[in-house]
Structure 1
Amino acid sequence: MLDFFSTIGGAIMAPLYYVISAVLVGFHKLFGSVFGPETGIAWVLSIIGLTLVIRMALIPLFVKQIKSSRNMQLIQPKVRELQKKYGHDRERLAQETMKLYKDSGTNPFASCLPILLQMPIFLALFRLIDQAAKNPQDPKGLMTVTLNEQFGDAVFLGAKISDTFLNTDDIGVRVLAAVLVLAMTATTFLTQRQLMSKNMPADALSGPYAQQQKMLLYVLPVVFAVGGIAFPIGVLFYWTTSNLWTMGQQFYVIRNNPAPGTPAAAAKEDRDRAKAARKGQKTPAQIEEERLAAEAEARRAEKSDTRQQPQRQSKSQRSKKKR
């Protein structure tokens, strides 16, 4: 039975081995020609190059994730209203909530897609490194025996790319692995923190979605820290580079296209106002504010004119005034 599932798993992962090894070998030819094919720097840069290619391919999913996350934030007040209205009827609450998601174009699971899609890639890279270190005579994908041997034996900053925190007694290797685990953990925490502190409206910070985000804020770094001590150095470079990409990409999106009613939106409006002032112009928000103020002033003037308009008098009232 185990052999059956192993065969099925291998068949599923085989295409990934070819894709990942093709990108890895391509970058290795480039960097190997500069630093030497057996050097650790050539392989580390190849892993970083692989990471950047994967993250660029995932940009459409990241944009979808950001939009879905924004929609989830904006509809939280409506979700809370549904909970108050149908809290006694779980089935009706679930139906109305799913209807709200559908009407607003929100997918509550979209925020998990980039991570879920990266996990098979992560596992495939893990297996490539592990295979290169333990069984170089059985290459996977486009890796050859020679490349496997170079990959498994490549040394970077005194540590083999295939080394982990647990499989060595070398203090230098453990220090490097610990630094990379801490970097991976810290970047995971800061990425989630950046989203919550800058791009979540105040009224969304107390709902179930906010509780979910807070849980992920503290649980994910712990999971990565615990699991990271068993990751090869090469995999730690992959995941840390991926996290740094996410931080930069998320910073750009939040800065330039923040969710309404968030600290990021207020900061963007301040920047737009300052930029417009330097050019002697007005921002769209200022123009809208002036339009609304003018409309309010016109309504007040209209009400004032209505109150001051003289009332019609009867003939007897007018004759009494003449006397």
Structure 2
Amino acid sequence: MDVVTEILLPFRWLVSAIMVGLHDGMSALGMPAASGWTWSLSIIGLVLVVRAALIPVYLQQIKAQRGMRRLHPDLKELQEKYTGRTDPLSRQAMAQEQMALYKKHGTNPFSACLPLLIQMPFFFALFTVLSGMAAAAVRGEGIGAMSPGQVVQFEEASVFGAPLSASLLHGSTGNPVSVPVLTILMILAMTAAQFITQKHIMAGAVSGGAQPDEAASAQFRLQQKLVLYILPVVFGVGGIIFPIGVLIYWTTTNLWTMVQQFVAEPFVRDPRAP
């Protein structure tokens, strides 16, 4: 067992346990246990559970974003102070003063990435769980908290004729048209949600109470543009190999992020900004 597998093992159990719990709960309420819609709703429920658990982290991110916006004028002044000074002592002094500014404003440059970083193990765990369904079903094995019977049930489940464990790249035993159509629609949906969210973040960075040259450094703007245009490409390419179940997860989480960004924007803006 390699290191990555060992790291993902508890996440595989947690992800599969949440899915099984939600699936069994919906089955108890009368939904067909073998239905692809029941399993799809359990995946959507997994997103809601994970993202709801991350709300405290997101609130901390909002606080950090406010701090970053208040920090920009001071950071720009610090960079001008050390312009042209490339000796080791000056670099060390600048780094120390920069860290002091981050501490003063209660923020750090990596705060915006924290929710995404926390989500990634869950995403990869779900990917490995769903990708291993076919092989586990053939061997009569369970995956994580899923019993062998539930693995077979999931492997046979479909929505609109597209098996949840199928992907565009690896094909499926289901409807030959439904898999590519559903895959393309979800890739477009999650890519559009990501693009709209990032555009909103970039617009907020400029209109958040500071002048454009103070709102972000050239490097920050470049990073934002890279995220704006590269992530949709990543989603598009990745969507080819992602099982339908993973696409359901990622589309739902991107839509959650988009709505959350619009709802939270008034709270992100610094009330002390002019």
Q: TM-score, with normalisation over the residues of structure 2?
A: 0.87
Give the alignment's Cα RMSD to 1 decimal: 2.0
Aligned with 1:15 (options 10, 16, 21)? 10
2:205–2:215 contact (8 Å) kept in structure 1: no
Whole-Å separation in 2 of the counterparts to 1:258 and 1:205: 12
- Structure 2 unmatched runs, 5+: none
Structure 1, unaligned runs of 5 or more: 1-5, 266-323
Deviations 1:75-101 (A, max 9, x none): 112211111110223513333222211
Alpha-carbon distance between aligned partners in 2 of 1:257 and 1:10, rounded to the nearest angstrom: 37
Partner of 1:134, secondary structure, is helix
Cα displacement (A) at 1:171: 2.6
Shift of 1:74: 2.2
- Show the counterpart of 1:140: 143
Equivalent positions of 1:188-267 (< 5 A) are: 188-200=194-206, 201=208, 202-203=211-212, 204-207=214-217, 208-260=219-271
DSSP-derived class of the 1:53 partner: helix
Shift of the alpha carbon at 1:193?
1.3
Q: Name whichever of 183-192 and 69-78 sits farther off.
A: 69-78
1:1-323 to 2 correspondences below 5 Å: 6-33=1-28, 34-90=30-86, 91=91, 92-136=93-137, 137-168=140-171, 170-200=176-206, 201=208, 202-203=211-212, 204-207=214-217, 208-260=219-271
Length-normalised TM-score, structure 1: 0.74
Counterpart-to-counterpart distance in 2, 1:25 and 1:210: 43
Partner Cα distance (1:234, 1:146) in 2: 18
* Same amino acid, percent of matched pairs: 43
Q: RCO greater where, 1 or 2, for CA within 8 Å and sep 6 or more?
A: 2
Number of matched residues?
258
Structure with larger Rg: 1
Moved more, 175-184 or 29-38: 29-38
Kept after mapping to 2: 8 A contact 1:17/1:141: yes
Q: Tell me the SS of whatever aligns to 1:18.
A: helix
Give the distance between the partners of 2:25 and 2:236, measured in 1 at CA. 33
